[in-house]
Chains A and B, each alone.
Chain A
Amino acid sequence: MPNLKDLKNRIESVKSTRKITKAMQMVAAAKLRRAQDAAEASRPYTARFNAVMAGLASSVGGSDSAPKLLSGTGSDQTHLLVVMTAERGLCGGFNSNISKLARNKAQELLAEGKTVKVVTVGKKGRDALRRDLGDHFVAHVDLSEVKKIGYANAQDIAKDVLARFDGGEFDVATIFFSRFENVVSQIPTAQQIIPAVFEEGEAEGTALYDYEPSEEAILADLLPRGVATQIFAGLLENGASEQGARMSAMDNATRNAGEMIDKLTIEYNRSRQAVITNELIEIISGAEAL
């Protein structure tokens, strides 16, 4: 049986753990609000952008002169996977879910005999994928110094990806991130960004527009921006998902710590009672012997 002093120490240490997880939960809750606001603020842009692009793509896409970013290189031999995760851990299954999705996809592609290249954004995904896909890493983007994700961050990533595409390094690019549904559910998502795909139904009757300069020129101007926009949207969703995941993970941790404290306290009281009873028995039996 553990002695009283040990139990007391355990209880104290679990209590301070609970304080820390509680604090982390509250910080995550505050950050979540901000991240959600940022994601919300970017939505009108992304929605409009995709609607216009879908309209343009459907009217130009069929022709032979369509830009490569839209029609593809004509092959799908080399795949670039952009895996976006967090810079920090302690957020439940957030990082590992994204990594798992990316790993499965990579293994699927490798089994088909395709070439896979991986760009990681965020330290945690890099660590998680290093063992299986370390040989396929081509670049890493460090966002640990970035306090608030801005469009410029997405532009930098997009610029790198586009430079590789122009250099003929890959044929198809897919981004991996976590879509924020609500605090308890974040869905790891894979989205193909090059060649660009548009959801059905996004193209409404946009065929009536006049285009200035030409449709092709606008499309050529917008497609690279589209890559940045998609990456930016992914980063923001990721930011909100990370905080949501951390919040619920820390909430669970706090609750578990509470239960542990209760259990340990009962055990502590029982042993204390046992010690007192023992001493009483010794005193009484000592007195009887006289």
Chain B
Amino acid sequence: MADTMQFDLVSPERSLASLQATSVQIPGADGDMTAMPDHAPTITTLRPGILTVSGPDGEAQFAVTGGFAEISGDSTSVLAEKAVATSDITAAEMDALIEAASDAAANAAAEDKDIADKSLADMQALKVSLGL
């Protein structure tokens, strides 16, 4: 079994990381999951949360909002709508995101209300876990 797999984290504006990783912890829509080499091919959507990448060179953490992850045996690609290294994110940015989410929740139509509320709750949880 291979020890590492190719890991890519890309956002629409740029590619944030492309490295060899031993495991990637992904905040999936249905709960966190950890992808390791030779994982069964999976596609999952993301909820706002923290993505942790462990590799031979140590660990890196990124805050991601929506998007999806594509996992296959020898590679994992995360396509995040917005992704920032946790060390680079500021409380102000986080507050702006929360505000946008709460606006969306307040204006959401009845059938989308649950999704918008969940997204808001996830954003708030993300802020807490970032310690801001």
Hey, which bits of chain A sit against chain B, CB under 8 A?
38, 41-42, 44-46, 48-49, 52, 56, 150-151, 154, 208-213, 217-218, 221-222, 225, 228-229, 232
The answer to whether A232 touches B41 (Cβ under 8 A) is: no
- Among B8-16, B56-64, B85-93, B123-131, the stretch in contact with A: B8-16
Q: Which residues of A contact B52 (CB under 8 A)?
A: none
Instruction: Decide if the interface of chain B is mainly helix, strand, loop or mixed.
Output: strand
Give, as a whole number of angstroms, the nearest-CB distance from A134 to chain B.
31
The answer to whether B30 touches A48 (Cβ under 8 A) is: no
The answer to whether B11 touches A212 (Cβ under 8 A) is: no
Q: Which residues of A contact B33 (CB under 8 A)?
A: 212
Inter-chain contact total with CB atoms closer than 8 Å? 75
Complexed CA–CA distance, A151 and B22 (Å): 31
The answer to whether A52 touches B68 (Cβ under 8 A) is: yes
Complexed CA–CA distance, A232 and B44 (Å): 23
The answer to whether B68 touches A222 (Cβ under 8 A) is: yes
**Contact among A45, A154, A212, A232 for B43, CB-based, below 8 A:** A212
Is B84 in contact with chain A by the CB < 8 A criterion? no
Give, as a whole number of angstroms, the nearest-CB distance from B13 to chain A.
5
The answer to whether A212 touches B29 (Cβ under 8 A) is: yes
Q: Which residues of A contact B10 (CB under 8 A)?
A: 44-45, 48
Is B4 in contact with chain A by the CB < 8 A criterion? no
**Contact among A38, A211, A213 for B13, CB-based, below 8 A:** A38
Q: A212-B42, A213-B29, A221-B66 are known contacts; what are 20 more A-B pairs with Cβ within 8 Å? A: A42-B13, A45-B12, A46-B12, A48-B77, A52-B68, A52-B70, A151-B81, A154-B12, A209-B42, A210-B40, A210-B41, A210-B42, A211-B42, A212-B28, A212-B29, A213-B30, A218-B43, A221-B68, A228-B12, A232-B12
Complexed CA–CA distance, A210 and B10 (Å): 21
The answer to whether B13 touches A41 (Cβ under 8 A) is: yes
Give, as a whole number of angstroms, the nearest-CB distance from B61 to chain A.
20
Q: Which residues of A contact B66 (CB under 8 A)?
A: 221, 225
**Contact among B11, B15, B43, B44 for A151, CB-based, below 8 A:** B11
- B1-30 contact mask (Cβ, 8 Å, vs A): 1 or 0: 000000010111111000000000000111
15 pairs across A/B with beta carbons < 8 Å? Answer: A38-B13, A42-B14, A44-B15, A45-B11, A48-B10, A48-B70, A151-B12, A151-B13, A151-B81, A154-B12, A209-B41, A209-B43, A210-B42, A212-B42, A213-B30
Which single residue of chain A is at the shortest CB-CB distance from B69?
A212
The answer to whether A44 touches B8 (Cβ under 8 A) is: yes
Complexed CA–CA distance, A271 and B94 (Å): 72
